[in-house]
Amino acid sequence: MKTDDLIIKTLRENPSKPVSGELMAHRIGISRAAVWKRISRLRELGFNIEGGASKGYILCGIEDLIRPELIGKKLETRFVGKTIIYRSVTGSTNLDALDLAAKGASEGTCVISDAQTAGRGRLGRSWVAPAGGSILTSVILRPKLSPQTATLLTLAAGVAAARAIHHVTDLKPWIKWPNDLFVGNRKLAGILTEMHAEMDRVHFVVVGIGMNVNMDRKSFPSEIRKIATSLSIEARRTVSRNQLIATLYHELEAAYVRLVEHGAKPIIAQWEELAKIRGKHIRASLVNDRKVYGTAIGLDSDGALLIEDRNGKIRKITAGDVEVTNEPPEKE
């Protein structure tokens, strides 16, 4: 991982002339064959590296590089993003942030990466994102909240991401419970919120956000091509990742502070408005593999999804997976 990061760093420092395999090998302290192997792998991750061992390597698509110093200039926050750890390639920004938090990193510390080799999503799933076109960032928070209330942070993060996207691109993504962002029926962003807590005290929370920004349809792996989209596809223009990250941090801090200071109500109201959830037909798969069908009526005060089944019974969904269907609920 560290070697990959060093290779990208070297290429980023030489945006206008190719770096020979020999120079790269010498600088990093590995063999030329190892450089070639690493470059192949980095290309598989989605980095647009042109050239070869003899001609030298050059990183293309450089106009939208993530630059922490640029983000810092655009930042209007009190604590989120004041410390940014950038890694070109890492296993998972959430794992990095959890590790940093356990070692005492301060509230608001952010990890950003261009590519993850083991990106993770909700419910133990993986998160696939071609390098160079994504926002992959994890934010460390230390809320003085009980674990029960802290679970609302995941809704707050969904609200923040939707608002940041709207602010920068004018797009209006909707939120699928609890916090996937969609345009139409294609997924734009996902959020994985993890916490470490005592039973009545949160030690820290890591909010991880994966967002498809500048990628065309064909740069998505074939298995997700039909169900994924990006901001550049939807907005029909390249979107500045540095600007979007700064706006995202601003919105995240605002939503977080609102939750801590004013409790669940304002966040839940914002979420319900952005999700346009009321009246939608829902098929929920619970953690125990049972299914529940119904019509969404909103969120409970603890962030659970409330749906009314065909028999008029209110069901409360606290965990699991939700699909929005076109058919009204049938009898179970």
For the bound state, the minimum distance from the C-beta of residue 123 to a copy of itself, rounded and expressed in Å, comes to: 6
In the complex, the smallest distance separating the C-beta of residue 150 from a copy of itself, rounded to whole angstroms, is 8
Q: Which residue's CB is nearer to a copy of itself, number 118 or number 123?
A: 123
Residue 184 backbone phi and psi in degrees, to 5: 60, -130
As measured in angstroms, the least distance from the Cβ of 192 to a copy of itself is 7
Burial class (CB in 10 A: 0-12, 13-18, 19+), 39: buried
Q: Is-contact 325 281, C-beta < 8 A?
A: yes
- DSSP label at residue 131: T
Give the C-alpha separation, 88 to 171, whole Å: 28
Q: What is the dihedral of CA 66, 69, 74, 75, to 10 degrees?
A: 100
Cβ count within 10 A of residue 187: 18
* Beta carbon of residue 66, minimum distance to a copy of itself (angstroms, whole number): 26
Judged by beta carbon, residue 198 or residue 330, the one nearer a copy of itself is: 198
Closer to a copy of itself by CB, 115 or 207: give it. 207
**Based on CB atoms, which residue is closest to a copy of itself, 66 or 192?**
192
Query: Is the Cβ of residue 144 or residue 331 nearer to a copy of itself in the bound state?
Result: 144
Closest distance to a copy of itself from the beta carbon of 153 (Å): 7
Positions that interact with a copy of itself (CB under 8 A)? 122-123, 144, 146-148, 150-151, 153-154, 178, 192-201, 203, 287-288, 302-303, 318-320
Give the count of alpha carbons within 13 A of 64, CB side only.
21
Instruction: Give the CA dihedral 162, 167, 172, 173, nearest 10 degrees.
Output: -30
Q: Which is nearer to a copy of itself, 320 or 329 (CB)?
A: 320
Nearer to a copy of itself, 112 or 317 (CB): 317
Tell me the C-alpha distance between 163 and 172, whole Å.
8
Which residue, 146 or 219, is less far from a copy of itself as judged by CB? Answer: 146
Euclidean distance between CA atoms 101 and 203, whole angstroms: 9
Residue 200 burial (C-beta neighbours within 10 Å; 0-12, 13-18, 19+): exposed
Using CA atoms, how far apart are residues 12 and 42, in angstroms rounded to an integer?
14
Least distance CB 215 / a copy of itself (angstroms): 26
Cβ–Cβ < 8 Å for 18, 57: yes
Check: CB of residue 291 under 8 Å from CB of residue 317: no
How near is the Cβ of 264 to a copy of itself at its closest, in Å?
13
C-beta closer to a copy of itself: residue 72 or 121? 121
Shortest Cβ 80–a copy of itself spacing (Å): 18
Least Cβ distance, residue 160 to a copy of itself (angstroms): 14
All residues at 6 or more sequence positions from 122 whose CB lies less than 8 Å from its CB, including other chains: 190, 191, 192
